Structure 1
Amino acid sequence: MGTVAPQAVPENTYGQRQKLLFYLERIEAFRQDRPPNEIRILDLGCGNGAAVSIPVASGGYQLVGIDVHEPSIDYARQNNPYENVSFHLADLSDLEVADGFDVVLLSDILEHLDDPGKVLGKARSLLRPGGIVLGSIPNGFGPFEIESLLFRSELVRRVWMDLILGLPKTIHRLVKRIRQQRTGPGPPYNFESGHLQFFTMRRFSNMMRRCGFVDPEMRQGGILCGPFSDLFLNAVPGAIQMNLKLGRLVPQWLCSVWYFETRPRRSSTCP
């Protein structure tokens, strides 16, 4: 595997590239005039590394990725082209760090946790003075969660499959080819880890304050994403970019995803 520039990361229905560029923009603003190799980044719940860890590391930052999903960590290690990145199969409670981190990434992880406050407290303790936390969460009552809930219904899934199977084979082949061209073959992913938390903007901000962080600065992602809209957005040229652009214009409760930046408050602890 060669080097992975952020510009080479394909955009998809879920705003993969847009999210990555948000992280890089905020890391660069934090870095200022310091050399990239002086910036230490921890990616909690890094998964297979393809979406965030490895592209971020292309900027020369020192990055550590941890996850509990062994197939994903194996893939990340085998496909990592950079010496400034290391991947570890570990739970956050097992992590021992002597030097701390300037940036902690919580990319699509908090919604999967029984106790996100515990992880936020640990993340806070791992930050160097002046460090920041960057991440993303789904809108707990947005289009993505609604689509996902519907797709879990046996009746809805059966009707959906009947609809898809009723389409001409040429359309099936076209959609499949477009998806493969944009995303390529899929690396391992922890599909067994479902969503346990469903955040509103207010609930999320309150949780961050309780855990000793300042009010998070939020940015909106796309409107539509999920098993239903994925098919159609991939099939229509320009639809993915239009969906992401519209997401910046609509009220925040209409978006499927929110990106955030925060930092610890002084003299605060997470319960």
Structure 2
Amino acid sequence: MKFFIEKEDSYGYLKRLRFVSDIVQYKLENSKSIKILDVGCGTGLYLSIPLANMWKDKVYIFGFDIDIPSINFLKDYIERNSISNIKPISNIAEIKNEKFDIVIISEVLEHVESPINFLREFTHYGHEETLYLITIPNGYGIFEIDSLFYNILRLQLRILKNFKNKIFPKSNIKNQEVTTGATCSESPHINFFTYCAIKNIFYKANLEVIKYKGRTFACGPIISRLINRFDILIRINSFLGEKLPPQFVSGWMFVLKKSSVEYKKSKDCIFYNSICHKIYSRLKVYINKQQ
């Protein structure tokens, strides 16, 4: 099976893998081997498995996810392909006494109820030199806007289809082909962060940003159909993701460490607590849950 990231696309999956692998390589410069915790690893196809294959004897990865079908897929994959340096787990208690050199939390915070408490929980699995790699979509970037319009369109089409089926019921239903991607779960986004808000969350979780990189300028279920058809658009999209201010890109990638300064109560971002943000977030959550 392929890793789905043999070439770049509008979502920047290959750029994310390179971003993470650069940090792994940095850690290995001072250690013969390291341990990595991949939180919300999903099927492992986009990070855990490629990383394990890059450094078979130097990296040991614990892939954690609460989605059992995703973990079962990962278990089956590593067994069939004789990958010995990944341990899939669905119960965090299995690693309660472990400490990791790198903790990856990629495309996860937008799905959890309390991002601050979530980050605080997983910093317990690091030591003083641990690096935390966090990637997250811009809650107001083109990806989220594109997804909103796409999901509204899907909802309308589904309503029309249900209406049509009631009038003209079908006797035979064909089985749909099931494909496997980053995860087997259907977990809609419930958080939509501004750049100011996510940095404030890091601060409250006692984490300090030591490196930032933008992912891509534009992606989403609609616009990606155009971008992914042309290599030149993919390259321009990736270039803009790095050069534009964070507020204008679709996704963010951070390297963080535990802060030496303890969190002190601070003011939250004004817009993040505004009525406009609350209306936008609730609309997004509602539409996402209808899919």
TM range (shorter): 0.7 to 0.9
Partner of 1:11: 8
Partner of 2:84: 83
Which of 21, 27, 31 is 2:28 aligned to?
31
Partner of 1:44: 39
Which amino acid is 1:89 matched to?
A: S
Identify if the C-alpha distance between structure 1 residues 258 and 150 changes in structure 2 by more than 3 Å, giving closer, same or farther: same
CA distance in 1, matches of 2:77, 2:25: 25
CA contact (8 A) 2:135 2:253 kept: yes
Partner SS state of residue 263, structure 1: strand
- Structure 1 residue 137 corresponds to structure 2 residue 132: no
* TM-score of the pair, normalised by structure 2: 0.75
CA distance in 2, matches of 1:135, 1:250: 19
Which amino acid is 1:83 matched to?
A: S
Which amino acid is 2:109 matched to?
A: L
Greater Rg over alpha carbons, structure: 2
CA distance in 2, matches of 1:232, 1:33: 43
Which amino acid is 1:96 matched to?
A: I
Which of 221, 225, 242 is 1:227 aligned to?
221
Which of 169, 187, 198 is 2:192 aligned to?
198
Which of 180, 183, 186 is 1:189 aligned to?
183
CA distance in 1, matches of 2:29, 2:156: 49
Partner of 1:217: 211
> Structure 2 stretches of 5 or more lacking a match?
158-178, 266-291
Residue-by-residue CA offset, 1:166-214 (whole Å, 9 max, x unaligned): xxxxxxxxxxxxxxxxxxx534734521111111111111111111111
CA distance in 2, matches of 1:156, 1:236: 29
Identical residues among aligned pairs (%): 26
Map 1:88-99 onto structure 2 (within 5 A): 88-90=89-91, 92=92, 94-99=93-98
CA contact (8 A) 2:41 2:64 kept: yes
Deviation at 1:216, TM superposition (A): 4.9
Q: How many residues align?
A: 239
CA distance in 1, matches of 2:236, 2:183: 27
Identify if the C-alpha distance between structure 1 residues 194 and 95 changes in structure 2 by more than 3 Å, giving closer, same or farther: farther
* TM-score of the pair, normalised by structure 1: 0.80
Q: CA RMSD in A?
A: 2.6
- Structure 1 residue 118 corresponds to structure 2 residue 112: no
Which amino acid is 1:245 matched to?
A: F
CA contact (8 A) 2:46 2:182 kept: no
CA contact (8 A) 2:44 2:182 kept: no
CA contact (8 A) 1:71 1:188 kept: no
Give the stretch that moved more between structures: 81-90 or 118-127.
81-90
Identify if the C-alpha distance between structure 1 residues 123 and 269 changes in structure 2 by more than 3 Å, giving closer, same or farther: farther
Deviation at 1:95, TM superposition (A): 4.5
CA distance in 2, matches of 1:270, 1:74: 42
Map 1:49-60 onto structure 2 (within 5 A): 49-58=44-53, 59-60=55-56
> Structure 1 stretches of 5 or more lacking a match?
159-184
Partner SS state of residue 104, structure 2: strand
Partner of 1:71: 69
CA contact (8 A) 2:203 2:263 kept: no
CA distance in 2, matches of 1:232, 1:215: 34
Which amino acid is 1:201 matched to?
A: Y
Residue-by-residue CA offset, 1:230-269 (whole Å, 9 max, x unaligned): 2111222432222111211222211100100000023747
Which amino acid is 2:28 matched to?
A: R
